[in-house]
Amino acid sequence: MKKLIQKVCFAIMLVMLSLIVCTSAFAESMDDVLKDCKLDRNRWKVVEWFKAEQFVRFYDSTSVTVTGPGRFDAVIYDYYYGNNTCISDCKLQGKKHYHSEKWGFNTTKSAGTLRSMVTKDLDENVVSSYDIPSNMQIESELNKKSFEYITMKKIKEQVKADKIFTKEAPSQDKPKPEDNYGKFAPLPQPIGSSDGEWVYLGRFIGPSNKTYLENILEMKPFYGQTAQDGVLDVYYNHTHDRCNYGETTCEYACILKFVPLDINGHRIQRRGFYTELVDIGGGTKGAFSGSVRSVRRYDTATHELVETFVRDGYKDSALNPVTSYGYKGADFGGSDHPFWHAYHNSKCPGDKFWKH
């Protein structure tokens, strides 16, 4: 009986070993994965094969450009070969294709800046593309486990001997981590200064459980220096031709940009958080009031447009509440909200009607 058990165990071991050998023999190899990939391997260098996500990342060795000490730009390609691992809104989901991105990397700060995105089919025909506006290209720290960090470290090997790249960056007095604990970051730029087409209004905080308009009208400037959740950097864009002036009334309109900040005052750049562009107008009709015309939400990680809300005449209360005056809009409560600041900073001819 004992010998029989030993024989059975030995047979089971042989079967298991055979399965392991067979599985290894038929395991997917890099050559198998890239058999339909048409990239020139002399130019395109493999960063890493991300098996779980079913894509191979390359970088264009001819695109790598040193831009300063510890800095370089590069174009990367992700070759997707799987069935359902690509981002959900991709037009080529389930087909073999490429995602191309241009990045600026800062190895000194372990940070990166996404500059553009392109989706291409297997023959490298462009299906969609998006160049991120310069004023929305924000450098952010890279997670050391992220694909981008791994990419930066790989490409760094190509430029590590470059004299400009290895030149020591200007020295800075770096604060110790404990010096910044619980503190709020300084303003990104002076209030009233321009950032391209946008003018900076400062930081504001308001209730989060109200409609868009009520939230805007109840916001107050934030001057705190300690950690605080829910604070926004606010900008506006305005041209005088958007206004309508009369002898007794003034109608003013602008676009407010709300940029979400983390608890320490740094811009959030993660999926699920949004930069909002709010088209808002206001004027006099028995009382000062305002209404939101549209809201556009952009993903803070990719800067792609996620959704748009548009006011549907006077029947839609999703953006604007009903007031006692019988029309959509809300009364201005005080003069602290960003719309008021945008109006007075614009120095419109009709400012005489909206004095504090």
pLDDT, tens digit, for every residue of 178-237? 444 567 889 999 999 987 889 999 999 987 656 667 777 788 899 988 888 889 999 999
Token representation of residue 64 = 């790598």
Name the more confident of 324 and 97. Answer: 97
Cβ pair 233, 203 in contact under 8 A: yes
**Those residues with Cβ within 8 angstroms of residue 226's Cβ, 6 or more apart along the chain or in another chain:** 182, 183, 184
Domain locations in the chain? 34-166, 194-354
- Residue 90 phi/psi, 5-degree rounding, is -75, 135
Give me the pLDDT at residue 26, please: 41
pLDDT-derived band at 78 (thresholds 50, 70, 90) equals very high
285-308 average pLDDT score:
79
The span from the CA of 92 to the CA of 6, in Å, is: 55
Could you give the CA distance from residue 110 to residue 2 in angstroms, rounded to a whole number? 63
Q: Is 259 exposed, middle or buried (0-12, 13-18, 19+ CB in 10 A)?
A: buried
**Cα angle value 123/128/132 (rounded, 5°):** 130
Look at residue 47 in the predicted model and tell me its pLDDT: 94
Dihedral angle over CA of 121, 122, 125, 128, nearest 10: 20
pLDDT at 184: 87
Who's near 91: CB < 8 A, 6+ residues apart?
119, 127, 128
| Count of Cβ atoms closer than 10 Å to residue 226 Cβ | 10
Considering the entire predicted model, what is its pTM? Answer: 0.50
pLDDT at 177 exceeding the cut of 80: no
CB 85 within 8 A of CB 54: yes
Separation of alpha carbons 287 and 290, rounded Å: 10
Mean pLDDT lowest among 28-32, 253-257, 308-312? 308-312
Fold classified for 34-166: Lipocalin (2.40.128)
pLDDT digits (tens, 9 = 90+) for 95-151: 899 999 999 999 988 999 988 889 999 999 999 888 887 766 778 888 888 899 999
| pLDDT, position 240 | 78
d(CA 24, CA 20): 6
Contact in structure between 91 and 114 (CB atoms under 8 Å): no
E strand or H helix at 57: strand 55-60
> Could you tell me which residue, 325 or 273, shows the higher pLDDT?
273
